[in-house]
Amino acid sequence: MPDIIHTGPGRGPEPVATRRHQEHFFAEMDETGLGAVDAVDDSGAPSSLWSEAWHKLRRRPLFWVAAAIIALVVVVAAFPGLFTSQNPRFCELSNSLGGSAAGHPFGFDKQGCDIYSRVIYGARPSVIVGVLTTLAVLVIGTVMGAVAGFFGGWFDTILSRITDIFFAIPLTLAAIVIMQLFSENRTSLTVVAVLASFGWTQIARITRGSVMSVKNNDYVTAAKSLGVSRISALTKHILPNAAAPIIVYATVALGTFIVAEATLSFLGIGLPPNVVSWGGDISIAQQSLRTRPEVLFYPAGALAITVLGFIMMGDAVRDALDPKVRTR
Of 185 and 126, the structure prediction assigns the larger pLDDT to: 126
pLDDT for 135 beyond 70: yes
pLDDT for 29 beyond 90: no
- Span 6-29, average pLDDT: 54
Band (pLDDT 50/70/90 cuts) for residue 12 is low
Highest mean pLDDT range out of 126-140, 216-230, 284-298? 126-140
CA angle 150, 153, 154 (to 5 degrees): 115
113 lies in a domain?
yes
Do the Cβ atoms of 203 and 250 come closer than 8 Å? yes
Element (H, E) at 15: strand 14-15
93 lies in a domain?
no
Band (pLDDT 50/70/90 cuts) for residue 328 is very low
Is the pTM of the predicted complex or chain greater than 0.85?
no
51 lies in a domain?
no
Band (pLDDT 50/70/90 cuts) for residue 25 is low
pLDDT for 191 beyond 90: yes
314 lies in a domain?
yes
Check residue 327 and give its pLDDT. Answer: 46
Q: Of all residues in the chain, what percent carry a pLDDT higher than 70?
A: 83
- How many Cβ atoms sit within 10 Å of the Cβ of residue 178? 16
194 lies in a domain?
yes
3 lies in a domain?
no
- The per-residue DSSP string of 106-130 comes to T-B-TTSBBHHHHHHHTHHHHHHHH
* Domain of residue 80, residue span: 66-84+109-326
pLDDT for 307 beyond 60: yes
- How many Cβ atoms sit within 10 Å of the Cβ of residue 76? 21
Check residue 11 and give its pLDDT. Answer: 54
Residue 275 phi/psi, 5° resolution? -100, 125
Which of 59-73, 94-108, 189-203 has the least mean pLDDT?
94-108
Compute the distance between CA of residue 163 and CA of residue 165 in angstroms, rounded to an integer: 5
1 lies in a domain?
no
Compute the distance between CA of residue 132 and CA of residue 191 in angstroms, rounded to an integer: 10
Check residue 206 and give its pLDDT. Answer: 92
Mean pLDDT of the chain: 83
pLDDT for 132 beyond 50: yes
Domain at 209, CATH number: 1.10.3720.10
pLDDT for 72 beyond 90: yes
- Span 90-113, average pLDDT: 84
Q: Where are the alpha helices (H) located in the chain, listed in sequence order? A: 16-20, 34-38, 49-57, 61-78, 115-121, 123-151, 153-167, 171-179, 188-199, 201-214, 218-225, 230-232, 239-241, 244-266, 278-285, 294-321, 323-326
30 lies in a domain?
no
- 9 — alpha (psi -120 to 50), left (phi > 0) or beta? beta
Do the Cβ atoms of 191 and 270 come closer than 8 Å? yes
- Span 20-39, average pLDDT: 54
Check residue 223 and give its pLDDT. Answer: 82
Do the Cβ atoms of 200 and 141 come closer than 8 Å? yes
**Number of structural domains found in the chain:** 1
